Structure 1
Amino acid sequence: MSRLWQARFFTTVNHLRDLPRLDVPEIAFAGRSNAGKSTAINILCNQKNLAHASRTPGRTQHINFFSIGGAHVAQHRKDPVKEDEIEAFLVDLPGYGYAEVSGNAKLHWQKLLGDYLMTRQQLAGLVLLMDARRPFQPLDIQMLEWFAGAGKPIHCILTKSDKLNRNESSKALHQTKTTLKSYVDEKGQPFPFTTQLFSAPKRVGLEEATNWIQELTGLSRTDPASEENQPE
């Protein structure tokens, strides 16, 4: 069973001072507001409503934390999360790419997002979600190049791959890999960038994405919690 199925909502943060103080690895999810980020988080965690998609894309301006460990798998259970048993966090960042957000709110949002990504020591890596039909939009490239300076892994998930046929999917994946390989550091070494195809309806790419997250956070090296009396 995937350790991500243990995900539980932990807290919502609107200021850096409110970030969780637990020293556990975090994996952040970023992407355009229409890239299917919430859907991907939900299916990776095998839950329908863990991450909520706003009816108006671009309106969510907070950082949402989901804990792994310290609680039973089923989110509807009322048992509290044991903070001393939390092993990792999945972090849902505000979607970007919509102009409807007011100027002041957008500035606060961008500062919160930027400060978190560049200063959070516990951040182990970034999942960058892009529509497989339209990868590397200008804001995606900006996010990729900006976060590359942190020297941490980025895993590009090409969502909605079910909207493409086999040839189109292969081409999108090849082009993405080629683009990522073009990024090198000052020593000519490639950045730790990886990519994959993903489809929530077809359940394509779940295992690959799950393995990347669990390896980076160390969840794959820990014993899963007892599954006794837990739903399958």
Structure 2
Amino acid sequence: MRILLVEDEDAIANAIVRGLDAEGYVSEHASDGITGLWMAQESEFDVVVLDIMLPGLNGYEVCRRLRESNDSVPILMLTAKDGEFDEADALDLGADDYLTKPFSFVVLLARIRALLRRTSAGRDPILGTGTLRLDVSRARCWRGNVEIALTAREFALTEFLLRRKGHVVSRLTIAEHVWESDLDIDSNVVEVYIGYLRRKLDRPFGTHDITTVRGLGYRLLDSPLEETTAGNG
């Protein structure tokens, strides 16, 4: 999941970025409204966390322009102000949620997850292929009836592959959506994590769903979902 943070206070921005990275999200940061608007329009993000008091363009204006361009990305507004009119203004302009500073990272993370659940509700919160299932809203994974423990990064990579099952995705594309976009192109971290997933999702079950397409990238096979009772617990 990719999150754009538009925040001009470096201490706050650095803390949020570190926290999101630890939770397995890919975060991009802009320190002014003009750059934030450009990044939101040029790249695909799952959530935009947007401060109101920004240099260049304030958060209200960034939000307004995104909505005028029919961009439906979920927007969580941040502000040091505290008042019902500020909240009303943000929501009237198209923001999906509102959080007043100071706030805890735990609360911010909960709000982000809530926005992601709302977004995934319009898609399919249960992703799968063959006997592999991923419950996006509860962050749980099964192969058949066996629940598999995944780290935050492994879960993000599995979700990314499942949403593109049947299609070849390049190492660069994976890196941009599951890791930071400036990941060293010569790094083998993608291959390492593909190996982790094969050892957890394929080999113990005698399957080979994650395939390597030489010179192009990786593909998760698109197989008919098999009926199981996984996820009922």
TM-score interval w.r.t. the shorter chain? 0.3 to 0.5
Q: Which has the larger radius of gyration?
A: 2
Question: What TM-score results when the alignment is normalised by the length of structure 1?
Answer: 0.41
Question: What TM-score results when the alignment is normalised by the length of structure 2?
Answer: 0.41
Per residue, is there more helix in 1 or in 2?
2
